[in-house]
Amino acid sequence: QQELELQVPEEDHVQESMREGFIMFLSFAGFGAMPLLGYVVIPATFPDLGEDRLFLAACIVTGLVLFFLGSVKSKFTNSHWSWSGMETLMLGGACATVAFTIGYYVNEIVGTSADETH
């Protein structure tokens, strides 16, 4: 074990792993649900908004959440909070853009053929 520089697990490693996994799940579920506020809370508050405005609201909420998440991440790294927030916002925004673009083109391909069959 020393040769490979592996760490020997602590006595309570199973309990500690379960706790860390549970915290990770809650964080993922909590932060992952935040963009849905743009489609749940905002329509309830402003029922006359159109789809474009709701999408814009969801994008803004997602951006704020990503920046906040990156800022919190800076507590565990050596990065400044604003740099860490901007880094997470840019990376998350790029991933969201790629996912949206793929979804758009898949819908164009599948949506057209699905409309023709009905």
Contacts of 118 (CB under 8 A, 6+ apart): none
Structure confidence by residue, pLDDT tens digits, 25-37: 998 898 888 877 7
Q: How far apart are CA 108 and CA 118, in angstroms?
A: 16
Expressed in angstroms, the distance from the first to the final Cα of the chain is: 63
Tokens of 12: 């309570």
Residue 83 to residues 78, 92, 107, Cα–Cα distance (Å): 10, 14, 36
Structure confidence by residue, pLDDT tens digits, 72-112: 989 888 899 999 999 999 999 999 999 999 999 999 988 76
Evaluate if residue 15 carries a pLDDT over 70.
yes
Greater confidence (3 vs 68) lies with: 68
Per-residue pLDDT, 67: 95
